A and B are shown apart, each in its own frame.
Chain A
Amino acid sequence: MKDKPDSSAPTKDLLQGTLDLLILKTLALEPMHGWGVAQRIQQLSNDVLQVGQGSLYPALHRLEYRGWIQSEWASSENNRRAKFYSLTAAGREQLLEERAQWDRMAAAIGLVLGEAAS
C-alpha cells in the first residue's frame, strides 16, 4: 500500500529537498550511476545516511526532468551498461543556491539551539 497518511507530507518534502541537495553535490564531483550515488552518500556520511532506492530513483528522475542533471548510458567500471548521471549548468546553479539555502537554514537552527542551550 502506498497510501501514505497526509500528515507526513511536510517531513517528506524536507527530506526530499535535502536528498536533492545531496544528489547534486555528489554528482558535482563526477558523473555517476544511481548505485554509485547511493554508495557515495553512504560513505561520505559515515554510513549515517542510507538512501533507499525507493526514493533515490524518483529523485534522480525528477532532477533530470527539471533539467538539473542529465543522463547517458555508458559502461560501468565492471563493463556493464549503466545509466550515468551528470550535473548540467542549470544543476550547478541550483546546487549553489540549495547549498546557500541549507547553510542559512543550518545557521539559523544552530542559532536557535545555541540560544536554547544557554
Chain B
Amino acid sequence: MSLRERLSRIRFFFRRPGVSELNEELQFHVEHAIEANLAAGMTHGEARRHALVEFGGVEQAREETYRQRPGWFLETLLQDARYAVRGFRRNPAFTVTVIVTLALGIGASTAVFSVVDRILFRALPYAHNDRLVSVGLVAPIIPEEFMLGGSYYQWRDNQKPFEAFTSETGANDCDLTEHNPAHLSCASVEQNFLPTLGIVPLLGRNFMPEEDRPRGPKAALISYGLWLSHFGLDPGIVNRLIHIDGVQVRVIGVLPKDFEMPALEPADILVPEALDEAAERREAPDTVMYAFARLKPGVTMEQAQAELDPVFNYSLNQAPPQFRKEVHLRVRSIRDRQMHEVRLAAWVLLGAVLAVLLIACANVTSLLMARAAQGERELALRSVLGASRWRLVRQRLTEVLLLSMAGVAAGLALAEILLRVFVAIAPAGIPLLDRARLDLRIVLFTVIASLVCGACIGILPALQGPRAVALAARTTNSGAHAFTRRCMVVGQIAVSMVLLTGAALLMRSFSSIERQNMGMETRGVLAAHIALPTYRYTTAQQQMDFFLSAEAALRRLPGVSAVGMSNWLPPAETHETQPFNNIAVSGKQRSMNGTGGMVSWRLVTPDYFKVLNIPILRGQGFTEAERVSNDQNMVVSSFLAARLFGEADPIGQHVQPVPNGPWYTVVGVAANVKNGGLSGADKPEFYRLRRNLVDDWTPWNIMVLKTSLAPAAVAPWVRAQIAQIDPTLPIEVETLSESVSKLADRPRFEMALLGFFAISGLLMAVIGLYGVISFMTTQRTKEIGVRMALGADRIDILRWIAREGFRLILLGGAIGLCAALALTQFMRSLLFHIGPRDPATFLGVALLLGLVALAATLIPARRAMRVDPAVALRAE
C-alpha cells in the first residue's frame, strides 16, 4: 500500500460518511433502475420488483459497502469487546473464577519459576560454564570437596583431563580501614582463577603471577557492588591504594556486575592467595583449598574422574592409613557444588507449582467449556440470523482473549507480590534468592502461552460450528464436553491429593522439628557474636584481655544472672569437629578402624552450662577455679561418654583427643545437646575449658547471657557495654530463640510454600468439581422434574446427583493416592522424623479431601433436590 493510499485511508478513518448518505445513494440507484424499467414499458409495480431483484438485496449491498470502510475491523472488535464485557457482567461468578484461577496459576508459577530458574536452569556467569567443574577430596572432616596444599600442587602439575586448574582458599572477614570504613568479605584466589572460569574484569586487569607470591606486591580486585557503594563507580579506582585490614593494597581492577564465587561465598574483594608454594609442598599440608578446573573439550566428568586416579592415589597415600577408606575423589559441576542442598527443594517446589498450573488450566478449560455449552444455542441462533462462521469465531476469541489478558495482568501482579513474599520469608541459606527478579523472558512466555491456550480453548467450540441440534433440542446436549470435564475433575482431584500429601508431610515434619527437645534452654538467653579484627588485636593476649573485660562488664549488667562464652553455639552444625578415632583413652588402644565418625567440640567457660541450662549428669563440670589453673580438664556429653567408656565411670578418666596432643582429665558428663542442626543427626561432643591462658583464645567468640528481663531490653545494654571497651567493634546480638528459629527457616519456608500451593490447588479442584456438578444439575433440571413427577422423592434425587460426584471423588482420590505414594518418596530427605508414606498423614489428607469434595457435591445436589417438578417441566 502506498503512502498516499495509507494517508487517504487514515483520513477516511476519522471522517466517517454517515449511514444516511449511503442509504440515499442506494435509494437513488434503485429509483433510476425503476425509471429505466418504466421506460422499458413495465407497470409501476413490476418495474419496482425488477429493480429490487436486479439490485440483489439492498441490505447486503449496504453491509458489504460498509465493510469496505477503513477501521471496520477495529469497530467490530470494539463491538465484540463490549459484547463480551456485557456477558461477563451478567455472569460475574464465572468471570471472577476464571480470572482468579488464571491469576493464581500464572502468578504462582511465574514467581516460583523466577526463583528456581537460577537454581536449576540458568547458565552460571562464567564464559566456560559447561566445562567447569569442582574437583577435590571428600572426607568426613569437611562437608564439601576440598584439597590440601601439598596435594593441590601435585594434582595441578600432573593432571591430564583439564586444560586449566585453579584454586581458592575461601572468603574471610576483612575490613576496609579508610575514612569510610566497612566490614567486608575478602576471598583469596589463585592468580589464574579468573581466566580459568572465563571472567574478564570490567575494568583493569587480572592478578600478575608475582602478586600471587608471599611478600609480593599487594593487589586486589573489587566487586561491582563495592565499586558502586564505596567509590561511586569512579573509573579512577584502578591503581588507587586502599587500606584493607590496615595494609595498603593496590586496586588493580573491578569485577563484572554478575560476578560470583563458584562456591557462592560472599566476596567484596578478591585478593591473591599468596601461598608459599615451596613450603606448602614440603610441609604437612594444612592449607585447605577448593579446586576448580576447566575440562578439555570433549572430556566428560566421568573420564576426568578416571584420569585423576594417579594423582588421587598420591593424596590418599598422604592421609593417615586408618582414614583412607573414607576419602574419595569427587568431580562435579559447579552448579551441583552450589545447589546440592536446595536442589531437591527446588524441584519439589517446581513440581508443586506446575501441578497448581495444571489444575488451574483444567479449571479454566472446564469453565469455558461449560460456558460454550450454555452459549451454543445463542451461537446457533446468531448463525441462523446470518452471522458468518468467522464472525462467530472472532466473537468467541475476543471473549477468551479478554479473559486471558485480565488473568495475565492479575497473575503478573500476584507474581510480583509472591516473589517479594518469598524473598522476605526465605531463609538466608537459599542461594541467590535475594537476586531473584521477575524474569522478562518468563513473563513473556507466560503471556504468550496463556493467550495461545486461551485462544485454543475458546475457539474450538466456535470452530466446530453450532450444531443444528442446539436449536432443536430443548435441553442443551453436551455429552462429549461433559465427559472431558469429568475427566478433568478426576485429574484435578488426583493432583491436589498429591499436593496436599506433600504439604501435610512437610507440615508434620516441621512440627516434629519444632517440638523436639534441644537439650538446652533457648528462652531468656542472649548471644553476642564478636569477631575481633586481627589487625588491631594482633596477639592472643590482647584477644583474651578483651573478652575477659567484656565478660566482667556484662556480668555487672542488671538482670543478667550468668555470662558464658563459647566459640560456637548449638544446635547449629557449624563448629569444630574431629574424628572419633583420634581420641585415645589412657589404658586403651586407639582404634585404627576408619574415623569412627566425627565428634564435635567446643571451647567454653564454666558458666556456659549454666546459661544454656545444660545439666551436668555426673561429676561437677568446670569451675571458676579451674580457669586460672594449668589443669587440662574436659566435660564430655553422655553420648560421647557412652561411646568412650561404655559402662565404666567416666569421671577421672584420661583422654587424649589428638595424637601427640595434651591429655585431659574428664571432670563431668553433660546431657546431650542437639548439635547437628535442627534435623541433622546428633554427634558425640566434648567441651574444653577456655582457661585464662593465651593458648585457649581465638579472635572469634560468642558471649551468652542468661537474663530474667526481656532480652530485647538487655540487648542495647550489651551493645553499650561492648562499645565502652571498643567503640568501633562490630557486634551481633540476638536471642538464642531467634537463632534457633532461623535454623528452622528452611523447613518453614518449604512448608509454607507447599502448603500455599496445596491449598490453592485444593480450592481450584473443588471449584472445578462444584462447577461440573452444578452444571450437570442445571442441565438436568427437566429430567429431575420428570423423575419427581414419576414418583422419585427428594432423597432419591439427592442420591442420584451425589452419586455422580462420589464417583469422581473416589476415582480422583484413588489415582491421587497412588501417585502420592509414588512421588513422596522423592521428598524423603526433606522430611524429619517422619516417613514419606506416613499412614496418618495419608489418611488425614484423604479424609480432608473427601470431606471438602463432598461438600462441593452436596451443595448443588441439595439445589437439585429442591427443584419444583411443576416449574421444571414448564420451564422449557
Residues of A bordering B, CB below 8 Å:
1-3, 33-35, 38, 52-55, 57-58, 60-62, 64-67, 76, 80-83, 90
Contact = CB atoms under 8 A, between A and B. Distances in A.
B9 A35 contact: no
B839 interface: no
Main secondary structure of the interface of A (DSSP, over half): helix
Interface residues of B, number: 33
23 contacts: A1-B386, A2-B64, A3-B388, A3-B389, A33-B25, A34-B28, A34-B29, A35-B29, A53-B55, A53-B56, A54-B56, A54-B60, A57-B65, A58-B61, A58-B64, A61-B68, A64-B12, A65-B69, A66-B5, A67-B7, A67-B9, A76-B28, A80-B31
Given A53-B26, A57-B25, 11 more contacts: A2-B64, A35-B28, A53-B61, A54-B56, A57-B62, A58-B61, A58-B64, A58-B68, A61-B65, A76-B28, A83-B21
B75 interface: no
A33 B28 contact: yes
B56 A52 contact: yes
A43 B9 CA distance: 32
B9 A34 contact: no
A3 B22 CA distance: 23
B55 A34 contact: no
A27 to B, nearest CB: 15
Contact of B60 (A2, A33, A81): A2
Interface string B24-41: 111011011100000000
Q: Which of A34, A61, A80, A82 lies at the interface centre, i.e. has the most chain B CB atoms within 10 A of its CB?
A: A61
A89 to B, nearest CB: 9
Contact of A65 (B54, B57, B70): B70
Contacts of B65: 57-58, 60-61
Contacts of A2: 60, 63-64, 386, 388
A72 to B, nearest CB: 12
A54 B9 contact: no
Contacts of A65: 8-9, 12, 68-70
Contact of B32 (A35, A54, A58): A35
A118 B60 CA distance: 46
Contacts of A34: 25, 28-29
Most A CB within 10 A of own CB, among B33, B63, B65: B65
A83 B22 CA distance: 9
Contacts of B31: 80
A1 B64 CA distance: 12
B588 interface: no
Contacts of B21: 83
Contacts of B435: none
6 residue pairs, one from A and one from B, having the closest CB atoms: A67-B8, A35-B32, A62-B68, A58-B64, A57-B65, A3-B388
B86 interface: no
B6 to A, nearest CB: 9
B25 A83 contact: yes
Nearest to B31: A80
Residue from A35, A53, A60 having most chain B Cβ neighbours under 10 A: A53
B67 interface: yes
Nearest to A34: B29
B4 interface: yes
Contacts of A53: 26, 29, 54-56, 61
A56 B588 CA distance: 115
A90 B9 CA distance: 13
Interface of B: 4-5, 7-9, 12, 21-22, 24-26, 28-29, 31-33, 54-57, 60-65, 67-70, 386, 388-389
A64 B55 CA distance: 21
Contacts of B22: 57
A64 B63 CA distance: 17
Nearest to A63: B68
Given A65-B70, A67-B5, A57 B24 contact: no
B57 A54 contact: yes
Contacts of A90: 4-5, 8
A3 to B, nearest CB: 5
B54 to A, nearest CB: 8
Contacts of B7: 67
Given A2-B386, A35-B33, A54 B61 contact: yes
Contacts of B57: 54
A83 B28 contact: yes
Nearest to A33: B28
A77 B814 CA distance: 86
Contacts of B25: 33-34, 57, 82-83
A53 to B, nearest CB: 5
Nearest to A38: B29
A3 B60 CA distance: 12
Contacts of B70: 65
A109 to B, nearest CB: 27
Contacts of A54: 55-57, 60-61, 64
Contacts of B388: 2-3
A84 to B, nearest CB: 10
Contacts of A38: 29
A57 B60 contact: no
A100 to B, nearest CB: 16
A15 to B, nearest CB: 14
Contacts of A55: 64
A81 B70 CA distance: 26
A54 B31 CA distance: 16
Contacts of B4: 67, 90
A81 B64 CA distance: 23
B29 to A, nearest CB: 5
A55 B60 CA distance: 10
A33 B28 CA distance: 9
B12 to A, nearest CB: 5
A57 B63 contact: no
A80 to B, nearest CB: 7
B63 to A, nearest CB: 7
Which of B9, B24, B28 neighbours the largest number of chain A CB atoms within 10 Å of its CB? B28
A2 B65 CA distance: 13
Contacts of B386: 1-3
B480 to A, nearest CB: 25
A53 B63 CA distance: 12
Contact of A57 (B5, B9, B26): B26
A66 B389 contact: no
Contacts of A57: 22, 25-26, 29, 61-62, 64-65
A59 to B, nearest CB: 8
Contacts of B32: 35
Contacts of B68: 58, 61-62, 65
Contacts of B55: 52-54
A91 to B, nearest CB: 11
A22 B722 CA distance: 100
A38 B31 CA distance: 14
A52 B61 CA distance: 9
Contacts of A83: 21, 24-25, 28
